[in-house]
Structure 1
Amino acid sequence: MTDQRTPPPPQVWPTLRATDARALIRFLVEAFGFEETAVHGAGDRVDHAELSWPPGGGIMLGSVRDDAENPWHLDPGTFGAYVVTDEPDKLFARARAAGATIVREPFDTDYGSRDFTVRDPEGNLWSFGTYRGEPR
C-alpha cells in the first residue's frame, strides 16, 4: 500500500549544468528550499546530483564538462523551470534574502496564479507560483 503523504518519485527530471555545481546546490537549498538527495563526485566536481522539491518532483545537475561533443552537453545558465509553491510570497522573500537576482516580483496572473521570477548565480531562470497546470 502506498503512503499518500509521501510524494511519488519524480518521473521527469529537468537537468542543468553549472560552472560551480557545489555552490549552486547550496544556493538552491538555501534560497528555494530544495533538499539535497544525492551528490556524487570528487573535490569541486559534481558528476551527478539530485535535489528534491519537498511537495514532489526534483531536478538533476552536475558540473559543466569541457567536452562539447558530449550528447548531453548543456551550457550553464541556459536552464529555466516553473515550480509550484503554495507560498510564493514567503518563498520570494527567502530567495531575495539568499541573493537571487530578481527578474519579476510577485504578481497575480489573469488565470488566478501568484507568481515571481528570479535567476540563480549561474544565470538559470526560475519561476515559482501557485499554478498547478490544467487537469488531465
Structure 2
Amino acid sequence: MDDNAPPPTVWPAFQAHDPLCVIDTLVALGFEETARYTDEQGVIQHAQLSWPEGGGVMLGTHKPDGPFTQRPGTTSAYIVTSDVEGVLARAKAAGLQVPDEPHERDYGSREFGVRDPEGNQWSFGTYPGEPRRNAAP
C-alpha cells in the first residue's frame, strides 16, 4: 500500500437484516470493526469495518422506508489482498459458501469469491487496480 496515498473517501455502504451476523462474518474474514452505533433499542444504525490493507465498508440495519435504502443481500465488493490463501482459509473456517475457488485471471490477479450469510458477494484478489494517471499540466 502507498503510504502517501490519501485516506479512503469512497466507502461502499449497504444494509443488512442481521447486521451483527454480517459484521461477525466480515471480522472472521479479516476486517476490523472500527465503529458501531446503535439506537436506544440496540439496533445497529451504522457500523464501519476497515480492511487492514486499506479501505473498508459501512453498513447498518435495513430500513425499507428510509431515504437511503438497499435490499439486503444485493451488495458485491472486490477487496484487494496480498494474502488470498489466508483469507480463503478464514472463509472456510467460518463455514462460508465459497462458490468461486481461487483462480488466476487474465489481467494478473489471483482471486476467489465468497458469500456472506445474507447473500452479499465478496471477491478477494491480488489485482490492485491500475495506477492513477497524472493530472494534466
Asked if TM exceeds 0.5, the reply is yes
Q: How far does residue 95 in structure 1 lie from its aligned partner after superposition?
A: 0.6
2:94 paired with 1:95 = no
Corresponding residue number in structure 1 for 2:27: 29
**TM-score normalised according to structure 1 size:** 0.88
1:1-136 → structure 2 map (5 Å cutoff): 8-30=6-28, 32-42=29-39, 43-67=41-65, 70-136=66-132
Task: Go from structure 1 to structure 2 and tell me whether the alpha carbon gap of 1:64 and 1:6 turns closer, same or farther (over 3 Å shift).
Answer: farther
Aligned AA (1:35): E
What whole-Å deviation, never above 9, does each CA across 1:66-116 have from its counterpart, x for those lacking one? 31xx33110100100000000101211111110211120000111211000
Measured in 2, the distance between the counterparts of 1:122 and 1:6 equals 36
**TM-score normalised according to structure 2 size:** 0.88
What whole-Å deviation, never above 9, does each CA across 1:39-87 have from its counterpart, x for those lacking one? 00145511011001111111100000131xx331101001000000001
Gaps of 5+ in 1: none
Task: Go from structure 1 to structure 2 and tell me whether the alpha carbon gap of 1:86 and 1:37 turns closer, same or farther (over 3 Å shift).
Answer: same
RMSD: 1.7
Task: Report how many aligned residue pairs link the two structures.
Answer: 130
Identity %: 53
